[in-house]
């Protein structure tokens, strides 16, 4: 899906990557999942995904073009300043409220939460772009995970209660 505007500038830096990794691993620890490692190749992929997502208004492009074998969580924020990884990760974790522990995976409203704490994922990458959009100052954050989560039939062993 071709974009309708130029990509926003890259805003991925060492501080953002450290924050993303720390936030993700803190939530994973609550759910007895081992910590993820930040993979430089996945960082580059996440950066490219963030840029391509920003070529569209908000998140209308969704997960189009995501390569096989990769999980992805997307965040879009608008406001007077750039959003951080903590805001994105906390939003994804809040989907725990929709997670159906008795019959996972539920209705799909908890997919970001499940990916976040998925035990089988071992590596992640993070990317962020930010700048003036058509109406707002916008931030796009993309986290990618390998191996991916949200695999049918594997929820009980990969998504543990806190």
Q: Where are the domains of the chain?
A: 14-60+70-146
According to the model, what pLDDT value does residue 123 have? 99
Residue 6 token pair: 């130029």
According to the model, what pLDDT value does residue 111 have? 94
Q: Per CATH, which fold does 14-60+70-146 belong to?
A: Pathogenesis-related Protein p14a (3.40.33)
Among the listed residues 104, 63, 96, 40, the one whose alpha carbon sits nearest the alpha carbon of residue 75 = 63
pLDDT under 50: residue ranges of the chain: none
Helix, strand, coil tally for the chain in percent (to 5) = 35, 20, 45
According to the model, what pLDDT value does residue 64 have? 79
Q: Give me the helices (H) in the chain, please.
A: 14-30, 40-53, 85-93, 111-117, 155-158
According to the model, what pLDDT value does residue 108 have? 78
> Torsions phi, psi of 127, nearest 5?
-145, 150
Residue 33 CB contacts under 8 Å (≥ 6 apart), including other chains: 117, 118, 119, 121, 158, 160
According to the model, what pLDDT value does residue 107 have? 66
């Amino acid at each position: 899906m071709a974009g309708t505007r130029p990509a926003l500038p890259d805003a991925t830096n060492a501080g953002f990557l450290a924050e993303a990794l720390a936030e993700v691993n803190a939530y994973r620890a609550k759910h007895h999942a081992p910590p993820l490692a930040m993979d430089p190749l996945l960082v580059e992929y996440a950066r490219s995904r963030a840029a391509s997502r920003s070529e569209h208004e908000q998140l209308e492009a969704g997960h189009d073009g995501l390569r096989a074998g990769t999980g992805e969580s997307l965040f879009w924020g608008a406001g007077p300043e750039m959003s951080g990884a903590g805001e994105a990760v906390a939003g994804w974790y809040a989907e725990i409220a929709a997670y159906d522990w008795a019959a996972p995976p539920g209705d799909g409203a908890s997919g970001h939460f499940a990916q976040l704490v998925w035990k089988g994922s071992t590596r992640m990458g993070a990317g962020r772009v930010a700048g003036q959009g058509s109406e707002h100052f916008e931030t796009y954050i993309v986290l990618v995970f390998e191996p991916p989560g949200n695999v049918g039939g594997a929820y009980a062993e990969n998504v543990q209660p806190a």
